[in-house]
Amino acid sequence: MMKPQLLCTFTFLDELPTCIGNIHKVYSSDVANMKCYSYLSDMNTIICVYNVYSKERRVKDTISINRKKETNTLYSINALNAIIKIMNSGILDKNYIVNWTEYTNCLVLSEGEENYKTIKIKELSL
């Protein structure tokens, strides 16, 4: 069986029902474990995070993402690489241990080639 892929789709509060509908339409019965979060700094900005098994198609405004369950941290690989380089004197070391507690309840995204941004998030109850 194929390993599920964790995806993150960006939307706005007023477009959330349409967005969730599109996700289910594109991935049909493949969608599992969907959770939606709002940015704490902008409650109108929403992300939907979910697993899919299909890799052929992608919903608009969607990226592949990773999760650190213990701290509820969502992050892109590029953001992780930027964190490691910044914390490790510019060296990308795959064995570097990131202190994930610094990123509890956060979405961490790359910002340019060498930087990242941290966005505090809160789970919506759907």
Model pLDDT for residues 14-39, shown as the tens digit of each residue: 999 999 999 999 988 789 999 999 99
How much of the chain is in helix, strand and coil states, percent to nearest 5? Answer: 30, 40, 35
Confidence of residue 1 (pLDDT cuts 50, 70, 90): low
Q: What is the structure's pLDDT at 126?
A: 67
Q: Pairing mode, if any, of strands 66-68 and 62-64?
A: unpaired
Q: What are the domain boundaries of the chain? A: 5-123
Using CA atoms, how far apart are residues 18 and 21, in angstroms rounded to an integer?
5
Q: Is the pLDDT of residue 51 over 80?
A: yes
In the predicted structure, residue 72 carries a pLDDT above the cut 70:
yes
pLDDT score of 53: 86
* Amino acid letter for position 114: E
- Tell which residue, 107, 110, 86, 113, has the closest CA to residue 42: 107
Q: Which residue, among 77, 78, 79, 24, has the nearest Cα to 52 in the 3D structure?
A: 24
